[in-house]
Amino acid sequence: MSQIEEIADVLKLLGDKNRLTIVALLNEKELCVCEIVDILHTSQPNISQHMRKLKDGGLVKEAKRGQWVYYSLTVQDKPYIAEILKQLPSQKVKINQLVCEENECCS
């Protein structure tokens, strides 16, 4: 696969509003699926499908802690993503609201 094809595939992944929002959230901090579900107000299977696509696309990695899986960005090898991330609105308010709600799903 050429570099142009690889970049095009990654940009297609980010063309989905939910996946772009997930990447913006993960740019702020590592999150569990249940936290992303709470923030985006959608179903766990829906978020899991988006996470699988992002993982397959090489944009996120997962770390299992107990029964919970936490996701973080892994875009160091994709400098063009850093430029996109700079343009995305901060998601800190959404994440801080989540913390204030004392989410019990993965604590």
Structure confidence at residue 45 (pLDDT): 95
**Could you read off the pLDDT of 13-30 as tens digits, one per residue?**
999 999 999 999 999 999
Q: How far is CA 26 from the centre of its chain?
A: 5
Residue range 85-106: mean pLDDT, rounded: 79
Query: Domain 3-100 adopts which CATH fold?
Result: Arc Repressor Mutant, subunit A (1.10.10)
**DSSP symbol at 91:** -
Rounded Cα distance between 81 and 102, Å, is: 31
**Could you read off the pLDDT of 37-88 as tens digits, one per residue?**
999 999 999 999 999 999 999 999 999 988 888 999 999 999 999 999 999 9
Rounded Cα distance between 12 and 21, Å, is: 14
By percentage, how much of the chain surpasses pLDDT 70?
92
